[in-house]
Amino acid sequence: MKGLRPRIFTVFATFLFSIYLLIPSWIRFTTGKSVPQIVRAEDPWYYSYLPSETLKLGLDLMGGLHLVLGIDFEEVHRDSATKLKNDIKNLLEAEKIEGITLDTSANNRILAKFTSEEQWKKADKLIGERYGQVIDYEGQSGNEARLKMNALYESEVNNRAVEQSLETLRNRIDEFGIAEPIITRQGDDKIMVQFPGIQEPGRLKDIISRTAKLSFQIVRSGPGVSDPQAKPEQLQKWISDFKQEKKIVTDVANPITKHLRDLNQYLAGKIPAGTELLFHKEANINTREIEYTPYLLEKDALVTGEDLQDARYSYDSQTNLPEVTFQLTPVGATKFEKATGANVGKLMAIVLDSNVHSAPHIREKIAGGNARIEMGSSGRSADELLKEAKDTSLVLRSGALPAKLQFLEERVVGPSLGGDAIRAGTISLAMGLLFVFIFMVIYYRTSGLIATVALALNGLFILSIMAAFEGTLTLPGLAGITLTLGMAVDANVLIFEHMREELVHGKSLIYAISEGYSRAFTAIFDAHITTIIAGIVLLSFGYGPIRGFAVTLLIGLVASLYTSVFVTRVIYDYFVVSKNKQTIGI
Amino acid sequence: MKFFNLIPNQTNFDFIGKFKYFFLFSVIALAAVIWGTSTRGLNYGVDFTGGAVIQARFKSAKTAEDVRKIVTELGEEEASVVALGSENTDYLITARKHGTKEEDARNPLNQRLSQKMGSDVQIMSVDVVGPKVGADLKKAAMLSLLYSVILITVYIWLRFDFRFAPGATIAMIHDLVMATGFYLLTGREFTITAIAALLTIAGYSVNDTIVIYDRVREMYKLGGNALPLPETINKAINLTLSRTILTATLTLLSVVPIAIFCTGEIQSFAMAMTFGIFVGIYSTVYIASPFTIYVAKFMERKEQNRSSSRPVKAKA
């Protein structure tokens, strides 16, 4: 048989290489240490010759928290409509087109009210030139034109929102200090997060779900200021009207802040254009009850969290209570200085996630770009306040989410459960394999042993390829391995049965081997391909556990073609050709 | 040379002859499964329906009735409560709804339970799936089954013969429906893993079918058209019989320990697989092969009709 030496070499090379790929995983599972990507001085010398990729165990095998998060796209669209509106406003100001007021509607349309048709024509042309790619003209009624974001831009906005959320989540989780989280996109609009080993999801979920949107907005009406169109008393009356009309009873579990969106929709047209109603939350010192004070704010912020450079927690020098101090970027600081200079004497609300934290007086223009948020007392202990200050500074530092994240799926797997599952899984897998080995050796003798060696190699290859690609081994993944091993055994059974047939007809061993392989190959090939087709379909449609199954199935099938056909043939050829054996147990 | 054999070499069972009875049996069984699925419905897991599965450990022993009362008070009236172990402290709670109040949707049952019971309850594991995710998954699962069947059919059509594809497809669908029947009959949870089981069963079934078809293809190549197709297929089934039984035995050896020792979804998977292996053999021998013969005969007749009608036409 020609070319036996290179084939033997190939088998040994692949065998050794897969052992090499599995060394880091072996180190990790036995010592708990992992081989770093950049080797440090204190590491053993051989670390620099090893890959850093290891096999990972899925949550079902080691316990942990699994979350699937969705994004509130409604909020994203509202924000991007507002941003577009502001861009257009700036554009019109720069081009000195006057007499047009812009606003956004509840269904995210940009409304342009104009006084003269001529000015609007000019503006419309300009908007068409600059924003034609993203904005569609929807219609006009009287002297009000409606513009809307087009579908292409909307999907672009959605995509960006998911990307930004991923980025922000990575930053936050990184700062929170969790080892080896998995944060990936799932489908078009979801995010999958896995934290191995995490059992207490409370605080982590809290950090994930905070939007961390910071803004500085001018107060139009509230304690200390009064707008003739919306006096504080009037605000209170509107709120109680709203509650009556919508039959909402507020209590501790159902505060008015839960209905902010509905409330602002209800107030549209009543409150002055370009304003919104938010609340300040504070515990009454005497009654200890939490009170919500309404503030009417200008929607357009002086500065937002986008201009934030850094945020830290510290203690107020006078009250010694925890607070968050932050620093704006140079650009943000200039903006802030200009805006505060133009609004001296007014109140400026510091708003974090639609909650008015404080609303200090602007006494003079503020330079330098330093500011702070007090945590308020709200009748909480110093410990709780400090925790809030820490978490708030963390979420501010790691950036805002484009919108609130919704928890669509949540799975916590206890470590004991994982332990039991892993034991049962391993034992039954090992038993199954052992039975197959014994059966093969009894039934096919030496040939059965050859097939068994090939099977063991197959398992080794699956694990090493998984390790090389940092694959995650899950329980369904183990099932996938079992099944491919079944397919691999079947391939050998097919070959052996063909060989037996030839031998029964009195053919020589060499002839029987060669015929056995070539006759069985078509069936083996077709069977593998059809299962590979099913595996690919699973991989492209499936989620989570299904994917784990499909990945091991696919890797295993490819490995099976190699081991059960190529490797076993090399072993046969070695014995028959090199060792010149005339018979072999089959 | 002597071999260790379980199956005699020269079998000659008549598999094709009794096709009608088996076909009738399968049609009745399939109809029953489809009828059962549409009326009684599968026991869909929270993967598909959305909801919460919670494994909770209570500090003090409780009866299942106590736990059900607690859960009902939390707004989950139709939750199932199953005791785990014999201590009466561990319970598996499955709730398909997302509470009765609007805000419950944002506050899954495990949180409501912790809020209510405080340190009296320890949540061991949680699975919460939102209703939208469930619907998405169901759709993705159905599509993946559909696409797999279509693609495999196309492949067989390309690799073998146009006549061979329908038989394999019928057998595949047969096995998918029968395996669904397993979940229907046992009432085991139909989850994502069940979809994996269905697909694997279908894969094995196609594998079996392919091995027999491959034999037929080989016999045609070697001996021309010595035997008519029914006899050829029958002979191919007999020739591959030992392989069919061996492979089934080997797969069973690897799956049965899992069915015995593991619990939960993986156990269901292994049980469905065990069932599916038998169904797969049955469908290959008694459904796919005879069906292929019928298709072949039908095409032959059509061919003859065409060639015999042509001269008549030409004369007229």
What pLDDT was estimated at residue A563?
96
User: What's A257's DSSP letter?
Assistant: G
Whether residue B307 has pLDDT greater than 70: no
Q: Is A425's CB within 8 Å of B199's CB? A: no
Structural tokens at position A531: 């299962």
Residues whose CB is less than 8 angstroms from the CB of residue B149 and which lie 6 or more positions away in sequence, other chains included: B169, B172, B173, B176, B202
Closest CA to B171 of B213, B200, B205: B205
Distance of alpha carbon B189 from alpha carbon B268, whole angstroms: 8
Task: Give A230's DSSP letter.
Answer: B
| Residue numbers in B near A427 (CB within 8 A) | 257, 261
Residue ranges covered by each domain of chain A: 4-63+415-578, 73-154, 213-374
Q: Residue by residue, what is the 3-state secondary structure of chain B?
A: CCCCCCCCCCCCCCCCCCHHHHHHHHHHHHHHHHHHHHHCCCCECHHHHCEEEEEEEECCCCCHHHHHHHHHHCCCCCCEEEEECCCCCEEEEEECCCCCCHHHHHCCHHHHHHHHHHHHEEEEEEEEECHHHHHHHHHHHHHHHHHHHHHHHHHHHHHCCCCHHHHHHHHHHHHHHHHHHHHHHHCCCECHHHHHHHHHHHHHHHHHHHHHHHHHHHHHHHHCCCCCHHHHHHHHHHHCHHHHHHHHHHHHHHHHHHHHHCCHHHHHHHHHHHHHHHHHHHHHHHHHHHHHHHHHHHHHHHHHHHHHHHHHHHHC
Q: Which member of A431, A537, A545 has the closest CB to residue B192?
A: A545
Residues 127-146 of B with CB under 8 A from A: 127-130, 132-133, 136-137, 140-141, 143-144
Q: A451, A445, A433: which is closest to A567 by C-alpha?
A: A451
Question: Residues of A with CB below 8 A from B254's CB?
Answer: 432-433, 435-436, 482, 485-486
Q: Which residues of B131-149 are buried (b: 16+ CB within 10 A; e: fewer)?
A: eebbebbbebbeebbebbb
Nearest to B253 among A187, A254, A436 (CB): A436
What pLDDT was estimated at residue B312?
44
DSSP letter for A361, please: B
The topology (CATH level 3) of A4-63+415-578 is Multidrug efflux transporter AcrB transmembrane fold (1.20.1640)
| Reported ipTM | 0.81
Q: Which residue has the tokens 């146009």?
A: B162
Residue with tokens 């165990």: A57
Which residues have a Cβ under 8 Å from the Cβ of A529 and sit 6 or more positions away? B155
Do B5 and A496 meet the contact criterion of CB atoms below 8 Å apart?
A: no
A243's enclosing H/E stretch is helix A232-246
Q: Which residues contact A252 (CB under 8 A, 6 or more apart)?
A: A290
Nearest Cα residue in chain A from B265: A476
| A543–B254 C-beta distance less than 8 A | no
pLDDT per residue, tens digit, chain A (586 aa), is: 468 899 999 999 999 999 999 999 888 888 877 788 777 777 888 888 888 888 888 777 777 888 889 888 888 888 888 888 888 888 888 888 888 888 888 788 888 888 888 888 888 888 888 888 888 888 888 888 888 888 888 888 898 889 888 888 888 887 777 777 888 888 788 898 888 777 667 778 888 888 888 888 999 988 888 888 888 888 888 988 888 888 887 777 678 888 888 888 888 888 888 888 999 887 776 776 778 889 999 988 888 888 888 888 888 777 777 888 888 888 888 888 888 888 888 888 888 888 888 888 888 888 888 887 777 655 667 777 787 788 888 878 877 888 888 888 888 776 655 667 777 877 888 888 899 999 999 999 999 999 999 999 999 999 999 999 888 888 778 778 877 888 899 999 999 999 998 998 888 888 999 999 999 999 999 989 988 988 898 888 766 667 788 889 999 999 999 999 999 999 999 988 777 777 788 8
Determine contact: B155 vs chain A, CB below 8 A. yes
Nearest to B4 among A258, A428, A443 (CB): A443
Q: Could you tell me which residues are beta bridge partners of residue A276? A: A297
Confirm if B168 and B241 have CB atoms less than 8 A apart.
no
First CA to last CA distance, chain A: 21
Measured distance CA(B111)–CA(B95) in Å, rounded:
13
- How far apart CA B192 and CA B140 sit, in angstroms, is 10
CATH numeric code, A213-374: 3.30.1360.200
- The reported pLDDT for the residue numbered B316 is 35
- Give residue B85's region: left, alpha or beta (phi > 0; psi -120 to 50): left
Q: Give the number of A-B residue pairs with CB atoms closer than 8 Å.
A: 208
B125–A431 C-beta distance less than 8 A: no
Contact B128, B109 (CB under 8 A): yes
Is pLDDT above 80 for B222? no
Nearest CA to CA, how far is B71 from chain A (Å)?
19
Contact B200/A at CB under 8 A: yes
CB count in 10 Å sphere of residue B311: 9
Distance CA A202, CA A212 (A): 17
| Residue listed under structure tokens 């329980």 | A475
Each residue's pLDDT tens digit, B4-46:
776 666 677 777 777 788 888 999 999 999 999 888 888 888 8
Does the distance separating the beta carbons of B144 and A431 come in below 8 Å? no
Q: Span A73-154: which CATH code?
A: 1.10.1420
- Residue B313: the pLDDT is 42
Contacts of A489 in chain B (CB under 8 A): 247, 250-251
- Domain B51-129 fold is Alpha-Beta Plaits (3.30.70)
Alpha-carbon distance of A505 to A500, in angstroms, equals 9
Question: What band does B314 get if pLDDT is binned at 50, 70 and 90?
Answer: very low
Query: May I ask the CATH architecture of the domain B19-43+133-303?
Result: Up-down Bundle (1.20)
Structure token pair of residue B11:
């079998």
Residue in B3, B217, B260 nearest the CB of A586: B3
Pairwise CA distance, residues B28 & B174, whole Å: 12
| A445-to-A584, A586, B2, B50 alpha-carbon distances in Å | 9, 6, 12, 52
C-alpha to C-alpha distance for A268 and A9, rounded to whole angstroms: 78
**C-alpha distance from A60 to closest chain B C-alpha (Å):** 10
- What whole-number distance in Å separates Cα of residue A100 and Cα of residue A109? 16
What DSSP designation does A364 have?
A: S
Torsion of CA A539, A542, A548, A553, to 10 degrees: -40
Distance from CA of B92 to the nearest CA of A (A): 13
Sheet containing A144-149: give its strands across.
Answer: A100-104, A110-114, A144-149, A135-141
Whether residues A529 and B151 touch (CB distance < 8 A) is answered with no
- Given a contact cutoff of 8 angstroms between Cβ atoms, the answer to whether A201 and A410 are in contact is yes
Cβ contact B196–A424 (<8 Å): no
Q: What is the mean pLDDT of chain B?
A: 81
Looking at residue A320, what is its pLDDT?
77
Give residue limits of the domains in chain B: 19-43+133-303, 51-129
Mutate to test the interface with B, among A191, A209, A530, A543 (most CBs of B within 10 A): A530
How is residue A284 written in tokens?
């009454």
Q: Over the stretch B137-155, which tens digit does the pLDDT of each residue have?
A: 788 888 888 898 999 889 9
Residues 209-238 of B with CB under 8 A from A: 210-211, 214-215, 217-218
Whether A489 and B130 lie within 8 Å, measured CB to CB: no
- Inter-chain contact A523–B125, Cβ cutoff 8 Å? no
Other residues' Cβ atoms within 10 Å of the Cβ of residue A518: 11
Residues of B in contact with A411 (CB under 8 A): 125-128
A497 interaction partners in chain B (CB closer than 8 Å)? 240, 242-243, 246
- The helix or strand, by DSSP H or E, that contains position A390, with its residue range, turns out to be helix A382-397
Contact between B25 and B287 under an 8 Å Cβ cutoff? The reply is: no
